[in-house]
Amino acid sequence: MNHITYLLKANDIARKARANGNTPFGAVLVDPDGNVIMEQGNAEGDLHDATAHAERMLASRASQKYSKEFLWGCTLYTTFEPCCMCTGAIYWSNIGNIVYGLTEERLLQLTGADEKNPTFNISCRTILAAGQKPIEVLGPFDEIADQVVDVQKGFWNS
């Protein structure tokens, strides 16, 4: 699979989320054959739901639509490393692979103390290591850092 292509697709979704007044994050779900089967941007403002992160919502929707066996072969691509909540949702939905553009630590550098994103500075790998499933994680991909950061510029108060 061409990870960069899917990560840039997630970044386009983040751009759309921002244009719609939401926090600028995006995710896509790719099946084992390389088809994008689901897309999701953050929708916190639209839904008045602080838990409406792109990854959590995508995992929830996928869990309702597809079997756990099928999802184990799928890959969730996301602009930034999933937070604690989103990592848990991905784990419980049984999505077997996570690919992210930039780290949670890099996100914290961008957002600072902005109340719109009081992020945890913890790697999804640390969270997944406490679980019982061998979910594969790839990232970060520094070659797309400029494009991902560009979508974030001017959004945060830091």
Catalytic residues: 55
80 neighbors 141 (Cβ within 8 angstroms) = no
Q: Give Cβ neighbours of residue 81 (< 8 Å, ≥ 6 apart).
A: 100, 102, 103, 104, 107, 123, 124, 139, 140
Task: For residues 145 and 12, give the distance between their C-alpha atoms in angstroms, rounded to a whole number.
Answer: 14
Return the amino acid letter for 96.
G
Q: Rounded to an integer, what is the distance from CA 79 to the centroid of its chain?
A: 6
**Residue 36 φ/ψ, nearest 5 degrees:** -75, 115
**Both structure tokens of 58:** 């995508």
Residue with tokens 């184990």: 72
